Copies of this chain bind each other. A is one copy, B any other.
Amino acid sequence: MLHPYPSQLLGKAVDGFAALPGIGRKTAMRLVLHMLKQDRQSVMQFTEALTRLVQDVKRCAVCRGISDTEVCPICGNRLRDHTTVCVVENVQDVMAIEGTQQYRGTYHVLGGSISPMDGVGPADLEIETLVQRVQTGGIQEVIFALSPTMEGDTTAFYIFRRLGTLPVKITMIARGIAQNDELQYTDEVTLGRSIIGRQPFTGK
């Protein structure tokens, strides 16, 4: 059990860290004491980075992802394929897909997925902005790269219905067994999908 702090300044800083997800009071205390050991300037740089972030960061006018500028570097890059839009839940997914270096199109960041349990409905997500992008024309393919969960599937199905009449190809990223997975330990749904979605073996 941790007793009340000997310093209110310390207590408030610990409270701040402990309010973050996945950080308990003991970890928060450890982080704050680490900061006290650092030179003052590096702590100032840290707080300034956070302050500038929440004050100056924007949503990209096109993809609704996080951006420093009106239009993010990806949407503003003329060398990318602007006829293809990959729909993701959040900016981490953008970075994960960019990390594969297998995709040269653009993105649309929904900001989450439809989850009635968490009180998140279609209006809370960037779905209308996606529909508008497709309506404006020039987009030939919309790829769903959503979580393989009930929420992800619901979101994909909802957007699919909303885009229904528009002349655009709608695809989803492949589901199947992951690299280095062992078949015998793969769950039935995944294994079943990987058989249904089997692809030509090209020997490559």
Contacts and interface: CB of A to CB of B under 8 A. Distances in A.
Given A13-B49, A15-B49, A49-B16, A92 B33 contact: yes
A117 B74 CA distance: 48
A96 interface: yes
A72 B7 CA distance: 8
Contacts of A7: 57, 66-68, 72
A91 B42 CA distance: 22
Contacts of A21: 30-31, 34
- Consensus secondary structure, chain A interface: helix
B99 A33 contact: no
Contacts of A90: 33
A98 interface: yes
Given A7-B67, A8-B68, A99-B1, A36 B22 contact: no
Interface residues of A, number: 63
A10 interface: yes
A54 interface: yes
Interface string A1-17: 11111111110110111
Interface string A26-60: 11011111111000101111111111111111001
A125 interface: no
Contacts of A17: 46
A58 to B, nearest CB: 8
Contacts of A3: 94-96, 98-99
A56 B9 CA distance: 8
A91 B33 contact: yes
A189 interface: no
A20 interface: yes
A65 interface: yes
B31 A27 contact: no
Given A9-B53, A16-B46, 4 more contacts: A1-B96, A3-B98, A4-B98, A22-B31
